Amino acid sequence: MDGFIIINKKENMTSRDVVNIVCKKLHTKKVGHTGTLDPMAKGVLVIAVNKALKLVDDITSLNKEYIAEVTLGIKTDTLDITGNVLEKEDITNINKEFIEEVLNSFIGEYNMEVPIYSAVKVNGKKLYEYAREGKSVELPIKKVVINNIELLSVDQNKFTFKCNVSKGTYIRSLINDICKKLGTIGCMSDLIRTKQGKFYIEDAIDLDDIDEDTKLINMIDVIDFPILEVNEYLYNRIKNGSKLENRYNYEKLAFTYNKELIGIYIIDPKDGSKIKPKNIFN
């Protein structure tokens, strides 16, 4: 049993909670997720089982799509509605055109401040540990990409938008910066991940519906780089982890034998005429 499951995560669960439950239901310890969702967030959480764990980095790096709700007039320590309220202000008028203008200004590369309530480490310590201890720390800046962003609705002091973003984008932080550009305060009050790479929320299943008979998504079906079927000679070389001649002109290449994934190769940084194994699926 190797492959992926698309879970439609419910709110008030951690991503680790979901992994633990899948482990019990499938009777295996080799389970992991491909991108954390905050406890309050819902939607697509891609779960890797057994050999599919070797593809976690590839799936985690895929772009993600979200629908987020913003509540204006409330600032919290966690940047979402679950946090402690730090400040409030009355919101009397929201100009839809101005919101759209501000949202569009974020399209492209964007230097994002990592939120204090996150698991990113600074000096070997997780940021949320500094927050819980009341200690100040310089928050890291990371470069992310906002591929597109679209205003969906505006209702009194709330608005909803959809965005497609690169790996590592904190929607809470994006919302915080959007509110700053709007000249007000606000926080994330709802979040749904609707897509990650080829994984769509329409194909997701509820955690309660998983059992030993659940059909997993084949590893080959989620790969978004070239796939090449090989003969028995190359199969044996790949199975043994041998380097191969770089005849393919691809940065990354998957090999199959009898339509089963056997290896992923990348260009050897020390010798561009060769490709070397990144993952071997024995």
Flag whether pLDDT at 186 surpasses 80. Answer: yes
- Concatenate the DSSP letters of all residues of the chain into one string: --EEEEEEEPTT--HHHHHHHHHHHHT-S-EEESS---TT-EEEEEEEEGGGGGGHHHHHTS-EEEEEEEEETEEESSSBTTS-EEEE-------HHHHHHHHHTT-EEEEEEPPSSS--EETTEEHHHHHHHT---PPPEEEEEEEEEEEEEEETTEEEEEEEE-TT--HHHHHHHHHHHHTS-EEEEEEEEEEETTEEGGG-B-GGG--TTPPPBPGGGG--S-EEE--HHHHHHHHTT--EE--S--SEEEEEETTEEEEEEEE-TT-TTEEEEEEE--
* pLDDT single digits (tens) 24-75: 999 999 999 998 899 999 999 999 999 999 999 989 889 999 999 999 999 9
Domains for the chain: give ranges and CATH numbers: 3-62+198-219 (3.30.2350.10), 64-193 (3.30.2350.10), 225-280 (2.30.130.10)
pLDDT of res. 111: 96
Query: How large is the average pLDDT for residues 264-273?
Result: 91
- Summarize pLDDT for 133-183 with one digit per residue, the tens: 888 888 999 999 999 999 999 998 999 999 999 999 999 999 999 999 999
As a whole-number percent, the residues of the chain with pLDDT over 90 amount to: 77
**Residue 231: what residue type?**
N
82 pLDDT more than 90: yes
- The pTM of the full predicted model, rounded to 2 decimals, is 0.91
* pLDDT greater than 90 at residue 7: yes
Write down the pLDDT at residue 144: 96
> Quick one: average pLDDT of 251-270?
93
Task: Give 93's pLDDT tier (boundaries 50, 70, 90).
Answer: confident
Confidence of residue 117 (pLDDT cuts 50, 70, 90): confident
- 12's CB contacts (< 8 A; 6+ apart) are 39, 40
Going 72 to 74 to 75 to 80, the CA torsion angle's sign is: negative
Judge whether 141 and 176 are in contact, CB under 8 Å: no
pLDDT band (50, 70, 90) for residue 258: very high
Residues designated as active site: 38
For all residues of the chain together, what is the average pLDDT? 93
Mean pLDDT of 93-102: 91
